[in-house]
Amino acid sequence: MSRVNGSNGKVPARTPPARLEAGNLVVVGVGGQGVILASNLVSQVLLDAGYDVKKSEVHGMSQRGGTVVSHVRFGPEVHSVMVEPGSADWIVAFEWEEGLRSLSYLKPNGVALVSTERRIPPAAMLDHRDQSLKYPALGEVPFGVLALDTFAVAGDAAAAVPAVAQTVLLGALSVLLPFPVEAWQASINAWVPRKALTGNLRAFERGRALAPEVRAAEVAARTAARTVESGPEVVPSASASPVAHNGAKRSRDGVAEHLLPVVRIERSWCKGCDICVAMCPEKCLVLDELDVAVFARPERCTGCQLCALLCPDLAMDVLWVPAGDLTGWLFANEEDRVRAAADPR
């Protein structure tokens, strides 16, 4: 992202408009929705307006329809690339659940523009230990959240390329930022490939036409009957996940025990289809020279179960074992594992 990333530390050539000193934007969605492109596009507008801009993104599981998060921070000079929880002025969410999950980033008076498009990843971990996802009901969603049916708003603009619908959100965001429409159009021109250009420009326009609704959400956020100190309503954020550090706590007779995920593979059932190898977000699995899957990098496994859920041969199980027993659980044939890890196919 050489075009927008990083700062040279110099004082920007043009002074940013006084009305907007600095700001934090969080863009979220799932893989393939164009989150990164959208944040590039916004960053370009900010750069052109003379701000120092830093952008940072997480898209580890994006190919698998997993979460994509992009943080954009701007001001006269920006040092840290990350938006702190509770400090985003705006959230733009391309996906409903991802949007709700990211609300903990929002400032008390911030505005979240959330698409109602719903794309649940294949293994949404509904019963994943105590990590079960909980979302606020519609009525509990905090003030300042504007839910947009981007497909309905985009209408025929997204007929050819459905992804274009999300550009509606950028149009809506543009209402909240003090830049002329030409600046946005120029950035869209610079970043969007030719064939999707007209659709994107039209979707942007339609989003921008939602100014009354967007402004109303902004006003609601500012005047909401909640104290600034109490912060936005907290929904579990990804970082609150109990297995974020590869382990889960289980209590046995009141004594907390550290559990680690282990993938058990029934070698005689595996047909080497490569699905688990391709799907594992952490690249824990490889095929050995017999085309049988091997759990080669246990230390990376998060226990997400994607491999076991998608194995067509029912050959896998994700077990959680006490850290102390780990070596016993790892493979009877330790040699296989070491060899496969050294020479993945």
Partner 1 sequence: MGLDVVSRTPADVSQDGAVALEARADHAPARARGGAWEGASAEKHFLRYGMMPHMLCPGCGHGIVLDSMLRALARSYETLDDVAFVAGIGCSSRVVGYVDACTLHTTHGRPLTFATGLKLARPDLEVVVVTGDGDGLSIGGNHLIHAARRNIDLTCVLFNNEIYGMTGGQLAPTTIPGAYTSTSPMGNHERPFDAARLVEAAGGTFVARAQSFRTRDFEEIFLRALDHKGFSFVEVMTDCTEYFGRTNRLGNGADLLFSQARADVAIEADLAGRPTLQEVPARPVRPVMEMGVLHESRRQTLEEAMGLVEDGS
String marking each residue 246-265 x if it binds partner 1 according to CB under 8 A: ------------------x-
Q: What residues does 252 pair with on adjacent strands? A: 255
Tell me which H or E stretch contains 147.
strand 145-148
Q: Residues 89, 200, 39, CA angle at the centre, nearest 5°?
A: 35
For residues 296 and 335, give the distance between their C-alpha atoms in angstroms, rounded to a whole number: 11
Please list, in sequence order, all residues whose beta carbon lies within 8 angstroms of the beta carbon of residue 75, skipping any fewer than 6 positions away: 16, 21, 22, 23, 51, 52
Q: Which one of the spans 41-49, 91-99, 216-224, 309-317 is the region binding ligand SF4 (CB under 6 A)? A: 309-317
3 binds partner 1 (CB under 8 A): no
Q: Which one of the spans 25-33, 85-93, 246-254, 293-301 is the region binding partner 1 (CB under 8 A)? A: 25-33
Give the residue with the Cβ less far from partner 1, 20 or 120.
Answer: 120
For residues 283 and 317, give the distance between their C-alpha atoms in angstroms, rounded to a whole number: 16
Give the residue with the Cβ less far from partner 1, 49 or 106.
Answer: 106
Tell me which H or E stretch contains 295.
strand 293-295
276 binds ligand SF4 (CB under 6 A): yes
The minimum distance between CB 260 and ligand SF4, in angstroms, equals: 11
What's the residue count for the chain? 345
163 touches, from partner 1, ligand SF4, none (C-beta below 5 to 8 Å by class) = partner 1
Residue from 81, 224, 326, 341 binding partner 1 (CB under 8 A): 224
The minimum distance between CB 66 and partner 1, in angstroms, equals: 11
Give the residue with the Cβ less far from partner 1, 83 or 311.
Answer: 311
133 touches, from partner 1, ligand SF4, none (C-beta below 5 to 8 Å by class) = partner 1
332 binds partner 1 (CB under 8 A): no
- Taking CB under 6 A as the criterion, which residues in 245-274 touch ligand SF4? 261, 263, 265, 270-274
- Taking CB under 8 A as the criterion, which residues in 164-193 touch partner 1? 192-193
Single-letter amino acid code for the residue at 330: L
Q: What are the angstrom distances between the C-alpha of 182 and each of 164, 189, 201?
A: 19, 10, 11
Residue 291 CB neighbours (<10 A): 12
- Can you tell me which residue has the tokens 């699905």? 275
Tell me, what DSSP letter sits at residue 242? T
Q: Which one of the spans 1-9, 72-80, 161-169, 335-343 is the region binding partner 1 (CB under 8 A)? A: 161-169
Please list, in sequence order, all residues whose beta carbon lies within 8 angstroms of the beta carbon of residue 68, skipping any fewer than 6 positions away: 28, 29, 30, 31, 33, 35, 36, 57, 58, 59, 62
For residues 307 and 317, give the distance between their C-alpha atoms in angstroms, rounded to a whole number: 9
The minimum distance between CB 344 and ligand SF4, in angstroms, equals: 13
Q: Which one of the spans 1-9, 176-184, 245-253, 317-325 is the region binding partner 1 (CB under 8 A)? A: 317-325
- The footprint of ligand SF4 (CB under 6 A) covers 261, 263, 265, 270-276, 280-282, 284-285, 293, 301-307, 311, 313, 315-316, 318
